[in-house]
Structure 1
Amino acid sequence: MSAIAIVRPDATWAAQYDKTAQVIHNILGDTALRIDHIGSTAVPGLAAKDVLDIQATVVSEPDLDDAVELLVAADWEVRPPRRDHPVPGLPKDELQWVKRLVIEPMYRRRVNLHVRVAGRANQRYALLFRDYLRAHPDTAAAYGEFKKRAASLPLESVGEYADLKDPVCDLIYLPAEEWAERTGWTV
Structure 2
Amino acid sequence: MDVALTEWQPHWATDFAALAERITNAAGARIVRVDHIGSTSVPGMAAKDVIDVQVIVRNLPDPELADGLLAAGFTRSPGAHELRDHVPESWRGDPGAWDKAVFRPPAGTRPGNVHVRVAGRPNERYALLFRDFLTDDRGACASWALFKRRLALAAPDLPTYGQIKDPASDILMAAAERWATATGWQPPDPLPA
Q: TM-score range by the shorter chain?
A: over 0.9
Cα distance between partner residues in 1 of 2:84 and 2:35: 18
Secondary structure of the structure 2 residue equivalent to 1:26: helix
How big is the alpha-carbon RMSD for the aligned residues of Structure 1 and Structure 2?
A: 1.4
Displacement after TM superposition at 1:90 (Å): 2.6
Shift in Å, 1:89: 2.1
CA distance in 2, matches of 1:147, 1:69: 35
TM-score, scaled to structure 2: 0.90
**1:56 and 2:49 correspond:** no
* 8 Å contact kept, 1:68–1:100: no
Partner of 1:76: 74
User: What is the aligned partner in structure 2 of residue 10 from structure 1?
Assistant: 9
Matched-pair contact (CA < 8 Å) for 1:91–1:121: no
User: Residue 8 of structure 2: SS of its match in structure 1?
Assistant: coil
Per-residue deviation, 1:145: 0.9
Indicate the residue corresponding to 2:115 in structure 1: 114
Structure 2 residue matching 1:62: 3-state secondary structure: coil
Q: Secondary structure at the match of 2:52?
A: strand
Distance 2:58 2:132 in 1: 22
Code of the aligned partner of 1:3: D
Percent identity for Structure 1 against Structure 2: 40
How many pairs were matched up? Answer: 184
Task: Tell me: CA distance 1:56–1:66, structure 2 relative to 1, closer, same or farther (3 Å).
Answer: same
SS of residue in 1 equivalent to 2:6: coil
The 4+ residue runs of structure 1 with deviation greater than 3 A are none
Following superposition, the deviation at residue 154 of structure 1 comes to 4.7
Moved more, 44-53 or 84-93: 84-93
Instruction: Provide the rounded CA distance (Å) in 1 between the counterparts of 2:90 and 2:64.
Output: 31
Instruction: Tell me by how many angstroms 1:137 deviates.
Output: 1.1
1:57–1:118 contact (8 Å) kept in structure 2: yes
Report the counterpart of residue 147 of structure 1 in structure 2. 148
Residue 163 of structure 2 corresponds to which residue in structure 1?
163
Deviations 1:18-77 (A, max 9, x none): 1111111111112110000000000000000000000000012233x4322221121111
Q: Partner amino acid for 1:133?
A: L
**Structure 2, unaligned stretches of length 5 or more?**
188-193
Task: Give distance in 1, aligned partners of 2:99 and 2:52.
Answer: 17
Residues in 1 aligned to 2:2 and 2:61: alpha-carbon distance in whole angstroms: 34
CA distance in 1, matches of 2:54, 2:177: 19
Aligned-partner residue type, residue 75 of structure 1: G
Partner residue of 2:184?
Answer: 184
How many Å separate the matches in 2 of 1:8 and 1:17?
Answer: 17
The one-letter code matched in structure 2 to 1:6 is L
Residue 66 (1) aligns with residue 64 (2):
yes
- TM-score (normalizing by structure 1): 0.93
